[in-house]
Amino acid sequence: MATNQIDPTKWVDKYSDYLFNFTIVRVNDRELAHDLISETFLAGLKSMKNFKGEATERTWLISILKRKIIDYYRKINSKKGRAEVKINYSDDSNEGDWLEEQAPDRFDKTAEDIMENEELGLAILDCMEQLTKKQAEIFRMKTIEGLDTEAICNEFNITPSNLWVIIHRARTTLAQCLEKNWF
């Protein structure tokens, strides 16, 4: 008995941000991430009947996406020499002749930091699912896309004080949720 229903028409609205953030930290290329996600959606559609409903739709899509990302790296690796990291001292794109300038930045992020940040991003998106659709939408536009208050107000046809109330509610919910799940 399937406990989780599948509905491809809602995939894009519901999961694209999550999938996108999941992909972008792994491939670091917008266009590529876009292609991988469309492949994922298509593969998902094809194998819809294999979805048993044991996992949530999102987990299921993520598992497909993971395979796609692995496939991608396999493919570029099989083109020999392409995937090699070439360390070339006199690279035209590298300005600055000093050795110090070419040394890695010791204060740069470590792999662990990056991983943690990625998980954090997904945790925030997870928590955003607790918000109502309007709250999530407005919060996303304001906080992540950094749009002007005025622009958002015009789009949703609300007053600024309406907007701030919505933002306030969204922030309180998110803070509570993150406090539970992150700290």
- Binding pattern to another protein, positions 28-67, x when CB under 8 A? ------x--xx--xx--xx---------------------
Q: Under the criterion CB under 8 A, does residue 151 sit at the interface with another protein?
A: no
Site for another protein (CB under 8 A): which residue of 2, 13, 89, 92?
13
Stretch that binds another protein, among 10-18, 55-63, 83-91, 96-104 (CB under 8 A): 10-18
Choices 51-59, 96-104, 151-159, 167-175 (CB under 8 A): range interacting with another protein: 167-175
Figure out which of the listed residues 143, 153, 156, 158 binds another protein, where binding follows CB under 8 A. 143
Three-state SS for the chain is CCCCCCCHHHHHHHHHHHHHHHHHHHHCCHHHHHHHHHHHHHHHHHCHHHCCCCCCHHHHHHHHHHHHHHHHHHHHHHCCCCCCCCCCCCCCCCCCCCHHHHCCCCCCCCHHHHHHHHHHHHHHHHHHCCCCHHHHHHHHHHHHCCCCHHHHHHHHCCCHHHHHHHHHHHHHHHHHHHHHHCC
* Cβ atoms of residues 124 and 173 within 8 Å: no
Q: Does residue 16 belong to the site contacting another protein (CB under 8 A)?
A: yes
The C-alpha atoms of residue 127 and residue 129 are separated, in whole angstroms, by 5
17 binds another protein (CB under 8 A): yes
Identify which range of 63-71, 78-86, 95-103, 166-174 contacts another protein by CB under 8 A: 166-174
- Using alpha carbons, list the distances in angstroms from residue 89 to 81, 100, 167: 18, 12, 50
Told to check if 144 binds another protein by CB under 8 A, we report yes
Q: Is residue 174 near another protein by the rule CB under 8 A?
A: yes
Residues at the contact surface with another protein, assessed by CB under 8 A: 8-9, 11-13, 16-17, 20-21, 24, 34, 37-38, 41-42, 45-46, 117-118, 120-121, 124-125, 140, 142-145, 149, 164, 167-168, 171, 174-175, 178-179, 182
